């Protein structure tokens, strides 16, 4: 029989509560009910630690960024990184993907990044995938006429399924690769997320697509 030390769970719970407290105490972090929609240029949806969005915000100080994730204990990491770098053009909102229309005004978004979302591999969970056609229709209502959706993922099956969804919903595929870091595509695309660093270290490649509603 494997013996489990219950103190391990207590320590982990305390650490998680501490990270939630960090989120609550950051002036850059918002619960959905606290958020007041305003000008937003770029959203990272399912942002995790949001270090990708932070790096993008640092490179593009004239644009307004919002990082969205349902887990506050992850978002706070990006928020404190942004605070340390004194970035004024990024905010962090705890919300689900289906609540994005409460964060962004209609037809106002320039770019929507979906970075390494949960692939929900079971067929019965397909409706929860952030690239399901139900979500894609919502994104169309938020993007500007010349706006773009960007997807990065390591799971080839999920990525191929997502491409099928985009085509079926009549998105225009502008850029596509199954090995992003072996291309000469824009360097912004190659900014690493926390998960991407992990997957690349395991020898996986990054699948990438840019799609527009044109």
Is 188 assigned a catalytic role? no
Q: Which three-class secondary structure state does DSSP give residue 210?
A: strand
Q: Which three-class secondary structure state does DSSP give residue 96?
A: coil
Structure tokens at 213: 């509603």
CA 121 to chain centre: 18
> Which among 178, 169, 191, 146 has a CA at the least distance from the CA of 44?
191
Between CA 126 and CA 146 the distance in angstroms is 28
Which residue is catalytic, options 98, 101, 118, 179? 118
CA 51 to chain centre: 10
Cβ atoms of 47 and 115 closer than 8 Å: yes
Q: Which three-class secondary structure state does DSSP give residue 154?
A: coil
Length of the chain: 214
Pairing of β 29-31 and β 90-94: parallel
User: Please, which residues bridge with residue 172 across strands?
Assistant: 212
User: Please, which residues bridge with residue 86 across strands?
Assistant: none
Between CA 208 and CA 151 the distance in angstroms is 6
Provide the annotated active-site residues: 118
């Amino acid at each position: 029989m494997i013996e489990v030390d219950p103190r391990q769970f207590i320590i982990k719970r305390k650490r998680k509560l501490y990270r939630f407290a960090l989120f609550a105490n950051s002036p850059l972090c918002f619960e959905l009910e606290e958020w007041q929609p305003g000008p937003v240029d770029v959203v990272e949806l399912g942002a995790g630690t949001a270090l990708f969005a932070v790096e993008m915000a640092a490179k593009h100080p004239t644009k307004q960024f919002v990082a969205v994730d349902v887990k506050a204990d992850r978002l706070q990491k990006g928020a404190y990184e942004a605070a340390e770098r004194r970035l004024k053009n990024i905010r962090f909102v705890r919300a689900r993907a289906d609540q994005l229309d409460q964060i962004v005004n209609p037809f106002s978004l320039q770019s929507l990044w979906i970075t390494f979302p949960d692939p929900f591999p079971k067929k019965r969970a397909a409706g929860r995938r952030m690239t399901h056609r139900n979500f894609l229709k919502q994104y169309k209502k938020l993007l500007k006429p010349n706006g773009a959706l960007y997807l990065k993922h390591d799971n080839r099956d999920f990525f191929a399924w997502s491409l099928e969804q985009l085509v079926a919903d009549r998105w225009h595929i502008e850029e596509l690769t199954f090995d992003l870091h072996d291309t000469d595509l824009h360097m912004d695309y190659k900014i690493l997320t926390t998960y991407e660093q992990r997957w690349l270290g395991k020898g996986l490649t990054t699948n990438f697509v840019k799609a527009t509603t044109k």
